Structure 1
Amino acid sequence: MMNTIRSKQAILIGAVILLTVFLFTRDIKGLVKPKQATTGVPAVGQLTSAGSTINLTEVSTAAKNSINANLAAEITTLENAYKTAPDDEKMNAAKVLAEKWDDVEQAVPSALYLEIIAGKERNLNNWLAAGGRLMKAFDNTQDSLISPVLLQKANTAYTNAVALDSTNLEAKTGLGITIVNGMGAPMSGIAMLLDVVKKDPKNLKANMSLGTFAIKSGQFDKAITRFNDIIAIKPSPDAYFYLATAYENLGKNEEAVDAYLNSKKLAANPTLSNFIDKKVKELKNKN
């Protein structure tokens, strides 16, 4: 029995390692992040920011060092314009910066500017925009120091959105996802996401979060049902990959092979293809 448990854990850890690669290649987003499976990291429902903050200037400097020098110079000009703008023009300058940072795929500084905007112009759309960009930053970052802060900020943004409109499904979905990812008791987030899916069965974000939670909690039968539902709505490489992982953990190797190959086909990613070719060979040898 212990060997079976260890085997399943090894499969899941292997899947997480692969997904780590995709977070670096950025071809597949929103998958299980390695820091959630790393020794010493709080379990689901226990991730906290411990009073940490994110310095926008430091984030901006680091982001500019990772992009084209001409684009970095353009952003510096926009930042100077933002800093010197009169109060009645400051938010427009922040919006320009948020979109410019997003255009160059730097979600963290983009999200922080959207958060500033939402804090000044406190309406539903602004909080939703801030929450969405903060979660994008959370999904993409590999920085274990700022990751929990981004999640906390996203949680706050969606909490404010729900306070303005408790019936808004985008707000409830975002809030539920932040809770499941570590902001509070995960089952309350699950209940919120289940309510969203009840009202909107084709909600991909809510369904994906429920599916990944089922994987992480070892509820592989539920994960299979969830990811098959997702694939019926909109097939995607990550949905097929998670489906394959769930099948593999239950010893359903033929089904796992089919799902892995579908993931490979849709992603058309060399890193994924190489992994899946090895995985498929391994599973076929078990039959």
Structure 2
Amino acid sequence: MLNSIRSKQLIIVSAIAVLIAFLFTRDIKGLVKPKEETSKVPAGGQMSSSAAAPEPINLDEVSTSAKNTMNASLAAEITSLENKYKGAAEDEKTATAKLLAQKWDDVEQTIPSALYLEIVANKEQTLNNWLITGERFLKAFDNTRDSLMQPALLQKANTAFSNAVKIDSTSNDAKTGLGITIVNGMGMPMQGIAMLMDVVKKDPKNLKANMSLGTFAIKSGQFDKAIIRFKDIIAIKPTPDAYFYLGTAYENLGKNTEAIEAYVNSKKLAANATLSKFIDDKVVELKSKN
């Protein structure tokens, strides 16, 4: 029995790791992470109350690190904007912060982009500003493999979405984002699930909330529920990640024929060479078990 459980866990870990690595159309890939990335989070997803508070993120350090990965001309352009920001009068800083947030996003550096969006949101506290900030921090949380940075990014996303909910408690986008951060570790998972369920009840076609619930079902081993959720999602909008997660759920239940069909559909929609190779190998493996 124990070996069977471990085997299922390995299937989940490997399948999701591949999905995270190769699918480029995912919205909430960070909700389910490879085992080694979640080992520091207590069972059930809640961060330990006894754990030390996350280390503050130093914008200058993050900026320097990011600029070391890009060409000199881009780095110089960003440095010039940063110097302009630092030397600007208080009433001019917000405009430059917006430019920096966009520039960092253009070069796919989500952490400094999110930090500048946070500066903007603190100055201009609108629902949209906090939503954009929360989404960018969640994206940064998803993308980083720095286990020390992840808690701080998740906490900032949680704060941003909490501020959005304070402004508009009826906003599905705000509640969905907040629910995702809670499920990822910023509180009791069922609190986040309840929030996401409330969103789906009011907006059955909300893809982000449905995907969050589906991936949490996989993470918690509720594969039957995951199958229902992902089939509903596919009926709304077929995507490579939805089909891949569906295949993962079927595989874990030993429904290899259904898993093959879902994986192949994921391959067709993704059109990604590396993922295609993985799925081709997976199909051969599953066929050998039939």
TM range, smaller chain: over 0.9
State the superposition RMSD in angstroms: 1.7
Aligned counterpart, 2:6: 6
How far residue 28 of structure 1 moved from its aligned partner, in angstroms, is 4.7
Aligned counterpart, 1:274: 277
| Counterpart code for 1:270 | A
Instruction: Determine if the alignment matches structure 1 residue 118 to structure 2 residue 121.
Output: yes
Aligned counterpart, 1:79: 82
How far residue 35 of structure 1 moved from its aligned partner, in angstroms, is 5.8
Would the alpha carbon gap of residues 174 and 27 (structure 1) be closer, same or farther in structure 2, given more than 3 Å must change? Answer: closer
Q: Show CA shifts across 1:89-121 (max 9, x none).
A: 100000000011111111110000011111122
| Counterpart code for 2:52 | A
| Counterpart code for 1:50 | A
Uncovered stretches (5+) of structure 2, i.e. residues with no partner: none
Q: 1:91 aligns with which of 77, 89, 94?
A: 94
How far residue 196 of structure 1 moved from its aligned partner, in angstroms, is 0.2
Aligned counterpart, 1:210: 213
| More divergent stretch after superposition (226-235 vs 41-50) | 41-50
Q: Show CA shifts across 1:47-101 (max 9, x none).
A: 3683211110111111111122211111111111111111111000000000111
Q: Is the 2:121–2:129 Cα contact (8 Å) retained in structure 1?
A: yes
How far residue 10 of structure 1 moved from its aligned partner, in angstroms, is 2.1
Q: 1:247 aligns with which of 250, 264, 270?
A: 250
| Counterpart code for 2:28 | G
Would the alpha carbon gap of residues 95 and 162 (structure 1) be closer, same or farther in structure 2, given more than 3 Å must change? Answer: same
Q: 1:221 aligns with which of 221, 224, 243?
A: 224
TM-score (norm 1): 0.94
Uncovered stretches (5+) of structure 1, i.e. residues with no partner: none
For 2:140 and 2:251, the matched residues in 1 are separated by 30
Would the alpha carbon gap of residues 19 and 47 (structure 1) be closer, same or farther in structure 2, given more than 3 Å must change? Answer: farther
For 1:81 and 1:50, the matched residues in 2 are separated by 35
For 1:170 and 1:17, the matched residues in 2 are separated by 27
TM-score (norm 2): 0.93
| Counterpart code for 2:107 | V
Aligned length: 285
- Report SS of the residue matched to 2:57: coil
Higher RCO (CA 8 Å, separation ≥ 6 residues): 2
For 2:64 and 2:45, the matched residues in 1 are separated by 32
For 2:185 and 2:279, the matched residues in 1 are separated by 30
Aligned counterpart, 2:17: 17
Q: Show CA shifts across 1:237-279 (max 9, x none).
A: 1111100000000010000001111111111112211111111
Aligned counterpart, 1:139: 142
How far residue 2 of structure 1 moved from its aligned partner, in angstroms, is 2.9
Would the alpha carbon gap of residues 191 and 41 (structure 1) be closer, same or farther in structure 2, given more than 3 Å must change? Answer: closer
Q: Is the 1:97–1:113 Cα contact (8 Å) retained in structure 2?
A: yes
Q: 1:152 aligns with which of 133, 150, 155?
A: 155
